[in-house]
């Protein structure tokens, strides 16, 4: 920690060259070799002021607090505070190491690698045969809840995936040393073959687990990605912690007080009921109407193929909803649970009854800026249950097909077949020769409505 006299990226200074300099590249290479990253931070983004007493000085981030993977594992709640400059041209840097809070029981979260376990389908089939009385959607919620315990056992049976790969790799090395001394031993060759198979399965399980955690979809699963995924997950886990927050009154809160600030904020934003005036004449409110044949297509009954297509178009590595399940379990066990899922979806579209457990949503907070400090610096992302996503996707697909009949032709975005770049090309074509001082006087207005 301290003054490194160089920045890591061009976004870390307010003016100057738009290209990375040699000190920046060397600093980045050094940090990558040492596996160093910035500790989760709050306060000022720029930590050095070229002219503290002037209004024209360049601001840069050259004071940092960095740590490697081992430090972040030992001190996961560590965070840095960069305070105002005051009498110095450097921001005071403070590293906080909060005392470890007792670990809480983690909620159930389905790991996609379990779907490839040899006993997975048998466990799901046994749990799905349980007799449950009630509404069709309630049956699915109840059975998914009953499956959590046996699925947890499957996950625990694998143990620590990272340690499992290391142990099998060590066993494989020992076997190959034996084979080097006894190259004609059939028993050692059979043992090597079996261990290689176990090693490949363990590596794939680790890759699937880390890929789901890291949310990286542009890398293929492979042994070479294990270390990258692992480092990315560690960094993401550390950056996701919110250790310090400033409320609307300017008061700073840390530790256990932080969640209460967010809860109070969203209760005010989302929890207050408001009255709405009824539309007196809805028929005259909209000039564009759907053609009758298109309207009938939009309200057609839901069939099995439509539900199945929606489910199998979901990404399996997306964040789960409050029930902890991703789309992976619905895809891999569709032959077992698919019929009841389709019936529950059809039942919703016929009677409009929506189970409260399905309508629950988890709010995840993502920072909008590099150094968030206030509640409004975080963007809420809503994680919904898979059944909720299926229903909303079906409605979305049907509305999307009819939008082009309602939305005006000059609205060029969000409609299939239209691009927002068309407006740019049209404007360029219309503005030709506007700069010439001859011909009929012309004028252009840029209006921001």
Gap between the Cα atoms of 303 and 339, Å rounded = 11
Q: Please, which residues have CB within 8 angstroms of residue 412's CB and are 6 or more apart in sequence? A: 418, 419, 420, 422, 423
Residue 312 lies in a domain: yes
Is residue 374 within 8 Å of residue 245, measured between CB atoms? yes
Provide the 3-class DSSP secondary structure of residue 413: coil
The stretch 244-255 carries a mean pLDDT of: 81
**Helix crossing, 386-403 with 304-312: angle to 10°?**
110
The stretch 196-208 carries a mean pLDDT of: 75
CA distances from 104 to 19, 149, 242, 337, 435 (A): 46, 18, 17, 32, 68
Question: What is the DSSP-derived secondary structure letter of residue 108?
Answer: P
- Say if residue 180 is in the same domain as residue 228: yes
Identify the burial level of 341 via C-beta atoms within 10 angstroms of its C-beta, where 0-12 means exposed, 13-18 middle and 19 or more buried.
buried
Strands 361-367 and 252-254: unpaired
Instruction: Inform me whether the pLDDT recorded for 283 exceeds 90.
Output: no
pLDDT value for 66:
92
pLDDT value for 233:
62
- Say if residue 384 is in the same domain as residue 265: yes
pLDDT value for 415:
74
Residue 156 lies in a domain: yes
Q: Which of 53, 69, 96 is the last residue of a domain?
A: 96
Residue 148 lies in a domain: yes
Is residue 25 within 8 Å of residue 44, measured between CB atoms? no
Burial readout 164-183 (b: 16 or more C-beta within 10 A, e: otherwise)? bbeebeeebeebeeeeeeee
Q: Which domain holds residue 293?
A: 252-271+287-403
The stretch 266-288 carries a mean pLDDT of: 79
- Say if residue 71 is in the same domain as residue 17: yes
Q: Which of 96, 127, 159 is the last residue of a domain?
A: 96
Residue with tokens 């409609």: 415
- Say if residue 229 is in the same domain as residue 260: no
CA distances from 63 to 88, 351, 380 (A): 13, 61, 30
Residue 413 lies in a domain: no
Instruction: Inform me whether the pLDDT recorded for 235 exceeds 70.
Output: no
| Widest CA span in the chain | 96
Residue 183 lies in a domain: yes
Residue pLDDT, tens place only, 358-388: 988 888 888 888 778 888 888 888 899 999 9
Instruction: Inform me whether the pLDDT recorded for 229 exceeds 60.
Output: no
Q: What is the mean pLDDT of the chain?
A: 82
Instruction: Inform me whether the pLDDT recorded for 188 exceeds 60.
Output: yes
Question: What is the DSSP-derived secondary structure letter of residue 114?
Answer: G
Beta-bridge mates of residue 48: 60, 90
CA distances from 196 to 183, 190, 193, 222, 303 (A): 17, 10, 5, 15, 45
- Say if residue 194 is in the same domain as residue 129: yes
Gap between the Cα atoms of 204 and 201, Å rounded = 5
Gap between the Cα atoms of 387 and 360, Å rounded = 11
**Helix crossing, 334-351 with 386-403: angle to 10°?**
60
Instruction: Inform me whether the pLDDT recorded for 220 exceeds 70.
Output: no
Instruction: Inform me whether the pLDDT recorded for 189 exceeds 60.
Output: yes
pLDDT value for 237:
67
- Say if residue 85 is in the same domain as residue 147: no
Number of domains in the chain: 3
Q: Please, which residues have CB within 8 angstroms of residue 400's CB and are 6 or more apart in sequence? A: 416
Q: pLDDT-based confidence at 103, cuts 50/70/90?
A: low
Residue pLDDT, tens place only, 319-351: 888 998 989 899 999 999 999 999 999 999 998
Residue 426 lies in a domain: no
- Say if residue 132 is in the same domain as residue 160: yes
Of 84-88, 130-134, 260-264, where does mean pLDDT reach its minimum? 84-88
Gap between the Cα atoms of 135 and 33, Å rounded = 57
What's the start-to-end Cα distance of the chain, in Å? 48
> Of the ranges 14-23, 56-65, 133-142, 264-273, which is most confident?
133-142
Global confidence as pTM: 0.70
pLDDT value for 217:
53
- Say if residue 44 is in the same domain as residue 91: yes
Is residue 303 within 8 Å of residue 339, measured between CB atoms? no
- Say if residue 91 is in the same domain as residue 186: no
- Say if residue 85 is in the same domain as residue 170: no
Strands 79-82 and 41-43: parallel
Is residue 431 within 8 Å of residue 444, measured between CB atoms? yes
Is residue 39 within 8 Å of residue 69, measured between CB atoms? no
Q: pLDDT-based confidence at 309, cuts 50/70/90?
A: very high
Beta-bridge mates of residue 336: none
Percent of the chain with pLDDT over 70: 89
Instruction: Indicate the helix (H) or strand (E) that contains 325.
Output: none
**Residues across the chain:** 449
Residue 182 lies in a domain: yes
Residue 47 lies in a domain: yes
pLDDT value for 223:
45
The stretch 392-406 carries a mean pLDDT of: 87
- Say if residue 131 is in the same domain as residue 39: no
The stretch 396-418 carries a mean pLDDT of: 80
Residue with tokens 């299939």: 416
- Say if residue 141 is in the same domain as residue 225: yes
């Amino acid at each position: 920690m301290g003054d490194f006299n160089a920045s890591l990226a061009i976004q870390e200074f307010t003016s100057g060259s738009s290209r990375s300099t040699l000190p920046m590249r060397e600093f980045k290479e050094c940090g990558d070799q040492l596996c160093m990253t910035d500790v989760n931070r709050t306060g000022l983004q720029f930590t050095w002021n070229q002219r503290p007493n002037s209004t024209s000085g360049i601001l840069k981030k050259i004071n940092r607090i960095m740590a490697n993977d081992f430090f972040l594992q030992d001190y996961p709640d560590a965070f840095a505070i960069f305070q105002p400059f005051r009498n110095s041209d450097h921001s005071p840097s403070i590293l906080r190491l909060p005392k470890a809070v007792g670990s809480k029981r983690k909620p159930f979260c389905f790991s996609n690698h379990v779907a490839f376990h040899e006993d997975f389908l048998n466990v799901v089939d046994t749990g799905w045969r349980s007799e449950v009385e009630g509404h069709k959607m309630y049956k699915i919620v109840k059975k998914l809840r009953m499956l959590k315990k046996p699925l947890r056992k499957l996950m625990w049976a694998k143990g620590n995936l990272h340690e499992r790969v290391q142990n099998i790799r060590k066993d494989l090395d020992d076997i190959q040393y034996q084979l080097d001394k006894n190259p004609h031993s059939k028993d050692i060759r059979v043992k090597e073959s079996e261990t290689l198979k176990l090693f490949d399965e363990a590596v794939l399980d680790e890759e699937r687990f880390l890929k789901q955690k890291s949310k990286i979809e542009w890398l293929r699963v492979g042994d070479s990605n294990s270390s990258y995924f692992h480092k990315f997950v560690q960094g993401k886990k550390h950056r996701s912690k919110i250790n310090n927050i400033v409320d609307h009154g300017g008061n700073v809160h840390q530790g256990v007080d932080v969640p209460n600030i967010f809860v109070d904020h969203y209760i005010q934003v989302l929890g207050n009921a408001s009255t709405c005036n009824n539309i007196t004449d809805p028929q005259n409110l909209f000039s564009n109407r759907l053609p009758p044949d298109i309207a009938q297509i939009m309200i057609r009954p839901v069939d099995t193929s439509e539900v199945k297509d929606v489910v199998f178009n979901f990404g399996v590595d997306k964040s789960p909803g409050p029930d902890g399940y991703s789309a992976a379990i619905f895809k891999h066990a569709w032959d077992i649970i698919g019929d009841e899922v389709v019936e529950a979806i059809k039942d919703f579209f016929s009677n409009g009854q929506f189970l409260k457990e399905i309508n629950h949503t988890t709010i995840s907070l993502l920072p909008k800026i590099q150094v968030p400090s206030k509640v409004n610096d975080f963007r809420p992302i809503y994680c919904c249950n898979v059944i909720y996503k299926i229903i909303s996707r079906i409605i979305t697909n049907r509305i999307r097909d009819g939008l082009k009949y309602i939305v005006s032709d000059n609205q060029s975005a969000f409609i299939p077949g239209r691009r927002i770049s068309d407006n740019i090309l049209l404007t360029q074509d219309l503005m030709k020769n506007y700069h010439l001082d001859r011909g009929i006087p012309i004028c252009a207005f840029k209006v921001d409505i």
